[in-house]
Amino acid sequence: MDSAPRFRKIKKSLKSQNTPSQSKQINKRQAKSTLLQIAHELYLKRRLKALLVDIFMIYTPIVYLAYVIVGGAQEFRSNQPIIFACFLAYACISAIFIAKSGQTPGLRYVELRIVRADRARSVDSADTSANPESKTSTIGFWQALLREFAWAFSCAIMVGFIAPFVGSHHRKSHQCLHDLWLRTRIIEAPTAPKKPE
């Protein structure tokens, strides 16, 4: 009979040690670590680096050429068809790179590659028959071009930034919204070291 009150006292003392503020802090830490884990699985930092490289290597020269054609930055900003033409040129050039090798210059720099989602599992696995450089795993020009427009649309409405962190399907598949729509996926593609001659 004496053991029951002791057990209750121990249980109450344990509950009082873990205050609501401490449990909130623990929940915040767990949520933060989960978000960081999702960002890591989506290669978020590397994808941002790739985007910056592509903007400087592909988009910036296109915009400067448009400045020369229309007569300056002010005229460029007020001319919506020219702005759309610059994005279309950027999207087409990126789509050509992706259709040819699965990588834009930025993706090559950060060692990532865009593949078809149905082929990504075999490429990720250690199966030697699946060659990540094979043409069957790369996407075509039109799919790559549509992917660029889907990326721009999902970012413009802010859904593209939020979707990978919200839905359970996005988290499991490690796909952003535009990748999910077009059945593509980004995988690691480390460059092979050059053999000494």
Residue 10: what pLDDT? 55
96 is a domain residue: yes
Per DSSP, the three-state class of 186 is strand
Tens digit of each residue's pLDDT (9 = 90 or more) over 110-166: 999 999 887 655 544 444 334 444 445 789 999 999 999 999 998 888 777 677 666
Between residues 165 and 78, the one the model is more confident about? 78
128 is a domain residue: yes
86 is a domain residue: yes
Between residues 13 and 105, the one the model is more confident about? 105
Residue linked to tokens 């033409």 = 85
37 is a domain residue: no
21 is a domain residue: no
Q: Answer yes or no: is pLDDT of 89 > 50.
A: yes
Residue 126: what pLDDT? 41
Which range marks the domain in which residue 157 is found?
Answer: 43-188
Q: Cα separation of 193 and 44, whole Å?
A: 25
30 is a domain residue: no
Of 154, 48, 18, whose CA–CA distance to 109 is shortest?
48
Report the domain count for the chain: 1
159 is a domain residue: yes
18 is a domain residue: no
Q: H or E segment at 116? A: strand 112-116
Q: What is the mean pLDDT of the chain?
A: 76
What is the residue type of 116?
R
Residue 7: what pLDDT? 57
User: Whole-model pTM?
Assistant: 0.70
Q: Are the beta carbons of 47 and 113 closer than 8 angstroms? A: no
